[in-house]
Amino acid sequence: MNFHLQCIECKAEYPPSHIIYTCPKCGDLLDVVYDYSELMNIDLVKLWSKRTFNVWRYRELLPVLSRDPVTLNEGGTGLHYCRRLGELLNHPEVCVKNEGENPTGSFKDRGMTVGVTRAKELGSKVVICASTGNTSASLAAYAAKAGLHCIVLVPSGKVALGKLAQAIIHGAHVILVKGNFDYALRVVRKLSSIYPLYLLNSVNPYRLEGQRTIAYEVYEQLGREVPDVVVVPVGNAGNISAIWKGFKELKLLGLTDRTPRMIGVQAEGAAPLARTLRENSDELLRVPNPETVATAIRIGAPVNWKKALRAVRESRGTIITVSDDEILKAQRLLASTEGLFVEPASAASIAGLAKATSQGLVDRGEVVVCVATGHGLKDPEIVLKMTPKFVELQNAEEIDDFVRALLGNSYLSKTSTPTALGLQTAAEHSIPSSS
Ligand code: AN7
């Protein structure tokens, strides 16, 4: 499909051959604009149904010229109906879109497959980003696949271990910055304005386009229906903007006559958008020193704030805040009731739904999709930190006591007598030392 760039504020237009990230005239954000009329006579759903369930299934709606995208088979993630969780939240119709199933374990891969393909099309040799972790992990992997050099700047000491390991192993030049994400982003924006470094933060309009596919997939997975509410964790605010654009397009293309309400969720210590919306401010009310256990969304000056506020207002949604404690409880609840292990930032969507339900923002029976943005194994340290004490058993007798206590009398039959295990003790079982 034909596309060009357009400023969201002054509406100036630019051809896709220009390497720009913001409007050269007024400095505001850019959006990718398509000529949808080309698609009006095509049965899109039928076309899609013949293809693999991944991001490139929707290739007519992606802004690339190449027929050979840089791909790791991203997208096509599960939409899990969460009956047990729904019962606990007094809200039966909860689905979780599990973006941890992507190749590098987060939704960023949907954007990077498009963004890195564009980087190649535009002739770039080096890609760069600032990151709270997942963007760097994803960009490093796609740059490796494409044979491009990759530089990532991350806030020192504030990136989950798994994400850092990913960026390193995929061969990125990892630079630790003494400062937060907002500062690191300022630095890479400056660098990319001076040197030929292709910037792949979500200020890059092409990257965000790949993330619209979350909306298309949810639509197909719900049997060509749109949910009532979509709950999304918000950091730099690109994802909520992209998903909203995707749902609007489904309506524009005549595939549905409804759109969902978008509910963004921020951590209490990093909630600039929630406050900006609440106070109805025309300027972003920045948080100078954002802090939260959900390091992925530890962001005080979201670059896409304008797009995100438009998404929330147009969709008649809102932005709510949750505490770190609520986030960690929600993470454990989702993992222990549904078998889905997501990172703390992602669990913010579950905590957010719990809060929205209790505040009457979501009605019982409405179909809600929570976007779980990244995999729990990205940040194993937080789980261990939150686990007070392990049970450490020395021998078979203790194990027997433990199991009997766990099962309780109701599960035990009269024939199961204590310590009839006949096992060696752990010490007997250990390999003797050679001395
Ligand atoms: C798991 O990696 O900003 O609101 O630099 O990793 O689109 O920014 C990560 C963001 C939610 C917020 N959940 O998405 C980065 C980065 C997870 C994330 C978000 C992020 P946006």
Domains of the chain: 79-104+208-386 (3.40.50.1100), 396-429 (no CATH)
CA gap 6, 345 in Å, rounded = 31
Residue 108 is which amino acid?
K
CA gap 154, 135 in Å, rounded = 10
Q: How far is the CA of 202 from the centre of ligand 1 (A)?
A: 9
Residue 228 is which amino acid?
D
Q: What is the pTM of this model?
A: 0.94
Q: What is the pLDDT of residues 330-372, one digit of tens each?
A: 999 999 999 999 999 999 999 999 999 999 999 999 999 999 9
Query: 132: Cβ–Cβ under 8 A, 6 or more apart, which residues?
Result: 154, 155, 158, 159, 181, 235, 295, 296, 297, 298, 299
Q: How far is the CA of 237 from the centre of ligand 1 (A)?
A: 8
SS3 20: coil
CA gap 414, 213 in Å, rounded = 57
Q: How far is the CA of 369 from the centre of ligand 1 (A)?
A: 18
Q: What is the pLDDT of residues 20-36, one digit of tens each?
A: 999 999 999 999 999 99
Q: Which of 152, 199, 239, 322 to mutate to test the pocket of ligand 1 (most atoms within 8 A of CB)?
A: 239
Q: In this structure, are residues 238 and 210 in contact, taking their beta carbons and an 8 Å threshold? A: no
Q: Which of 106, 212, 292, 377 to mutate to test the pocket of ligand 1 (most atoms within 8 A of CB)?
A: 106
Q: How far is the CA of 278 from the centre of ligand 1 (A)?
A: 22
Name the β-bridge partners of 318. Answer: 263
CA gap 94, 76 in Å, rounded = 19
Residues with CB under 6 A from ligand 1: 106, 131-135, 202, 233-239, 296-297, 343, 345-346, 373-374
Backbone angles phi, psi at 55, to 5 degrees: -55, -40
Q: How far is the CA of 387 from the centre of ligand 1 (A)?
A: 25
Which residues does the chain have with pLDDT short of 70? 409, 412-435
pLDDT of residue 435: 46
pLDDT of residue 387: 82
CA gap 327, 331 in Å, rounded = 6
Scan for tokens 């340290």, then name that residue.
381
Q: What tokens were used for 89?
A: 């939240």
Q: Which of 153, 177, 297 to mutate to test the pocket of ligand 1 (most atoms within 8 A of CB)?
A: 297
pLDDT of residue 426: 55
pLDDT of residue 32: 98
Left if phi > 0, otherwise alpha if psi is -120 to 50, otherwise beta: which for 412? beta
Q: How far is the CA of 171 from the centre of ligand 1 (A)?
A: 21
* Ligand 1, atom 18, residue with closest C-alpha: 296
Left if phi > 0, otherwise alpha if psi is -120 to 50, otherwise beta: which for 24? alpha
pLDDT of residue 370: 98
Q: How far is the CA of 350 from the centre of ligand 1 (A)?
A: 16
Q: What is the pLDDT of residues 72-108, one digit of tens each?
A: 999 999 999 999 999 999 888 999 999 999 999 999 9
Q: In this structure, are residues 17 and 121 in contact, taking their beta carbons and an 8 Å threshold? A: no
